[in-house]
Structure 1
Amino acid sequence: MLRIALIAHAHFPIREPFAGGIEAHVFHLTRALVARGHAVTLFAAPGTDLGCSDPALTIQELPRTAAASVPWPLPGAVKESHHRAFTGLMADLATAEDAFDVVHNHSLNPVPVLAATRLRAPVLTTLHTPPFPMLEAAVGAVARTRLMFAAVSERSAASWAHVGIRRLTVVRNGIDVEGWPLGAGGEHLVWSGRILPEKAPHLAIDAARRAGRRLVLAGPVSDPDYFRLDIEPRLDDRITYAGHLDRETLAVLIGGAAAALVTPLWDEPYGQVAAEAMACGTPVVAFATGGLPELVDERCGCLVPPGDVDAMAAAVADASRLSRSLVRKVAVAEHGLAAMVDNYLALYQALVAERGG
């Protein structure tokens, strides 16, 4: 049995319905590690709820300052609160030398990366995003140390190559395929994810109209102005918004669709919504960007040039004719949670062995 500390970010609680892919990732990884017989302490935002009462699971809330807790915090208050929370956490972990065998960081914050060398326990950091300035600077500062990093796709690893990380491996994300059962399909299209410009649901609307199909959008509204100006005015009886759905309801919606549209305008590190759709047997039509070409091939969907709405609309008919059972088979075999957990546990064991644990 390993004693594992998992550090989540402090932006959103880890609970359903998920605010995004990282929340889902940490939720399922934590539960899977506990199910494998390990003792896990999850450090996460207030309100975190994994729906698990196993005595091997401990949830410790990251503190939030009073200035960051008000409905409309002053500029910089939330950032400062996160900085203080992670600084305090890493100081505690550094003094509690024998509390954990391994620390796994998912925080997206520079503090755990910079402070990792002070811990006796080995620290693994998963890079869930392309480089952004503060995190890139922190990783660059420790890139030549023996700290271990994991990228979630080959494309994501390539995006970090210029930083010169000495120890960088790839552990592909995995999804809980049992939570995304095979659906019967239907005639409508579906788009799911966080609703904000870089995810580009407005392009999914364009593609659906050109393909002559109904489209249902689902997911949290992360950018209210974008939704109000670019999405809401285009909703009608053919283009509808189902809201921020729990997993069970979302799986029914996706499983009843002819195809799922995936439309990122940024370098998507992995593409979790594509894997979830595939697990439901729903073929994917996606922009060929970021990690999506590592998930989607001719067995389970179609890739089109990034931003090409006409190509996406034209691909819908071909994708809809694919075997739904084969699409799910690919998802289960290649994108399931078990393989991801196996890979992380192998990394944990190797890091513990290096430290003489």
Structure 2
Amino acid sequence: MRIGIIAHLKHAICEPFAGGLEMHTSMLQGALRRRGHDVTVFASSRSEPAAFVEAICDETSLLAIGCNEAPDKAFFQEHHAYLSLMNGLRRRSFDLIHNNSLHYLPVAMADALPMPLVTTLHTPPFAWLESGVRLCRAPHATFVAVSDSIRRSWSKVAPVDHVIMNGINLDRFAFHAAPAPEPYLVWYGRIVPEKGLHHAITAAALIGANLLIAGPISDQDYFDREVGPRLNDQIRYLGHLPHVELAVVVGGARAFLCTPCWEEPYGLVVAEALACGVPVAAFARGAIPELLDAGCGVLATPDDPASLARAATAAQGLDRGSCRARAEQRCDAERMIDEYEALYAGLIDRAARSMPEKQFAA
């Protein structure tokens, strides 16, 4: 199959990944290419691998543009990039387009394409994307949710045709049968208010545990206000680590703290921790309860650090082998790719039977 993947443009698709969406896009294109598909990724500049990327825009994050120019400059950069892309795709010979962006235009303009469009919904509804979904009238547009939680959140906006749970490359997260000799908890991810790092710091302090923190600072004001002043010998920030270093840090932890302050759409960091054999203590929000069971995680009351502290204490007693087994059962990227491949094939076959042959010409 010849597949085009539309990425979002705020960050380059390259390591160290800015977040889960960048990692997901990179993993998806790599796995599809290894299975013999011809894949092109439409992304921002600096994305990798360069041989399979068509850069349609520079990065549009606040850090890339500068706060004095954003968000107006970012809005128009993205708008014009996606508008040009969607117009150009009408004349391309892809079998299918997979929209992995969070932008309204690829969805709103789906009826301009001669080929099927699959849109993966990675977040709960928000104003711009919801408007695009509501405008979508293309009969060959299909929506996929990354969890049942996301499917439910979109149910009043548009029918979600499929739920395909995200996955990770289990080979990149080696199983650690035992934690590091020096005990610590770990928190990692994008450092922004909605990820709730401040709750993890409070919970660790309540039980006197060491906490290692890793991830990009995506909201400097939040870091300076809620995180920086609380760093000490017990609570340490390691920076935005390359994958190899991050996997070692995560794998050595006694437990991983997951503290979403919003309805977490999936929780790739949870899947990664489980793959390393690390038990999870998490707020019961969004899709997190879909990933965990009693053998690999302990759920806490959302926004309650004391409840999280109790969950962290309990989680440290869980069997690390059960955590890895749960990741293999629920979080394997190969299962995810199998499901997307089957979906693609069905949509392409249906389109071939319902559209004139000339529409698929280059």
Residues 297, 303 of structure 1: 8 Å contact kept: no
Matched, 1:261 2:257: yes
1:123 corresponds to = 117
Pair 1:323 & 2:322 matched: no
Q: Deviations over 1:50-99 (max 9, x none)?
A: 3xx8xxx6210013499x97655354011100000000000000122xx1
Offset at 1:32?
0.2
* Residues in 2 aligned to 1:322 and 1:143: alpha-carbon distance in whole angstroms: 49
SS of residue matched to 2:54: strand
Paired residues of 1:102 and 1:122 also in contact (CA < 8 A): yes
Equivalent in the alignment of 1:179: 172
The 8 Å contact of residues 144 and 164 in structure 1, kept in 2 or not, is answered as: no
> What letter matches 2:113 in structure 1?
L
How many pairs align? 347
Q: Distance in 2 between matches of 1:342 and 1:64?
A: 32
Amino acid across the alignment from 1:7? I
Aligned-pair distance for 1:49? Answer: 1.5
3-state SS of the aligned residue for 2:156?
helix
1:346 & 1:198 partners in 2: Cα distance?
34
Counterpart residue number, 1:49: 48
Query: Match of 2:225?
Result: 229
1:274-303 deviation digits (Å, cap 9, x = unpaired):
110000000000000000000011111101
Name the structure 2 match of 1:287. Answer: 283
Quote the residue 1:160 is aligned against.
154
Task: Give the equivalent residue in structure 1 for 2:356.
Answer: none
SS in 2 for 1:95: coil
Matched residue type, 2:148:
E
Deviation at 1:164, TM superposition (A): 2.8
Is 2:27 aligned against 1:31? no
Aligned identity (percent) is 43
Q: Tell me the secondary structure at the aligned position of residue 62 of structure 1.
A: strand
Q: Is 2:336 the partner of 1:340? A: yes
* CA distance, structure 2, for counterparts of residue 144 and residue 161 of structure 1: 18
Structure 1 moving runs of 4+ over 3 Å: 68-72, 143-146
CA RMSD in angstroms, aligned pairs only: 1.7
User: C-alpha offsets along residues 304-339 of structure 1, whole Å, 9 cap, x if unaligned?
Assistant: 111121111112222111111121111012101100
Q: How far apart in 2 are the matches of 1:229 and 1:265?
A: 17
Taking structure 1 as the reference length, the TM-score comes to: 0.94
Deviation at 1:140, TM superposition (A): 1.2
The residue identity in structure 1 corresponding to 2:8 is H
Question: In structure 2, the residue corresponding to 1:265 is in which secondary structure?
Answer: coil
1:1-357 alignment runs, 5 A limit: 2-50=1-49, 58-64=52-58, 71=66, 72-73=68-69, 75-96=71-92, 99-142=93-136, 145-165=139-159, 167-183=160-176, 184-186=178-180, 187-356=183-352
CA contact 1:105–1:123 (8 Å) conserved in 2: yes
Query: What is the distance in 1 between the residues matched to 2:139 and 2:14?
Result: 34
Q: Secondary structure at the match of 1:285?
A: strand
Give 5+ residue unaligned stretches, structure 1: none
What TM-score, normalized by structure 2, do the two folds share? 0.92
Contact (CA 8 Å) 1:299, 1:327: kept in 2 or not?
yes
